Amino acid sequence: MRSFILILSVWLLSGAVALAQAGTASSSTEAPEWSHTSFRMQFTGNAVKLDNLGQVFEGEALFTNYPEKKGNVAFSCLTSTLTANIGLVPVDFEAYFREFPRSRRGKVKLPYLYINGEKVKSGQWIYAPNLKIYMPRKKHVVGKLYNAAIRGDSVTLSTNDKDHIPLILPKPNANFANFGAGCGIGKHAA
């Protein structure tokens, strides 16, 4: 949990610098699918442990390649921590992971998450207002989202419990299966 909060703190409160990108991301197609990319991140700012300050970490991301629609989802694995990002507006996650936008503001929110029409207790989320991205703070919520993608569940997120945004969770493909070994998931997990 500590490393998860550290990553969120770094991304939202002190900024993060993307150093390089290499991967297999693809552009938007007619039907959404999962794309994969690798990235390198260097932690900067005053909310970073001294041990991590200036170090470069390798990470990988899995995201929906449908930037024209709201409800895009991205999972990332960095320092053995799986995180999720959900775009409430159209978000190009390929560009997001290529060069992380700096955001010094993060708000704690309590959105409503529904899986197959059933409300899921999801606790607090971090909301980055300038990015319009929600990130669950609890690991079990990230796991529920990941498992919902595997099962093909219908998932919606609502900020006011009225307007439900359907999340784009395409059928798992090879990119999905190959993602996440560093976080203990996927077909290459140890």
Could you tell me which residue, 66 or 15, shows the higher pLDDT? 66
Residue 98 to residue 18: CA distance in whole angstroms = 7
What's residue 103's pLDDT?
Answer: 60
Q: Residue holding tokens 């999720």?
A: 84
pLDDT above 70 (res 5): no
What's residue 15's pLDDT?
Answer: 40
pLDDT above 50 (res 119): yes
Alpha-helical (H) ranges within 24-103 are: 93-98
Question: How high does pLDDT run on average in the chain?
Answer: 82
Domain boundaries, the chain: 2-182
What's residue 47's pLDDT?
Answer: 58
What's residue 163's pLDDT?
Answer: 86
User: Which tens digits make up the pLDDT trace of 130-173?
Assistant: 888 999 999 999 999 999 999 999 999 998 878 899 999 999 99
Residue 145 to residue 115: CA distance in whole angstroms = 9
User: Which tens digits make up the pLDDT trace of 27-58?
Assistant: 444 789 999 999 887 777 665 677 777 778 88
Secondary element (H or E) of residue 59: strand 56-64
The pTM assigned to this predicted structure is: 0.81
What's residue 66's pLDDT?
Answer: 86
Percent of the chain with pLDDT over 70: 80
User: Which tens digits make up the pLDDT trace of 8-23?
Assistant: 333 433 344 343 343 4
Q: Angle 126-12-109 (CA atoms, 0-180°, nearest 5)?
A: 15
Residue 153 to residue 87: CA distance in whole angstroms = 18
pLDDT above 70 (res 67): yes
pLDDT above 80 (res 65): yes
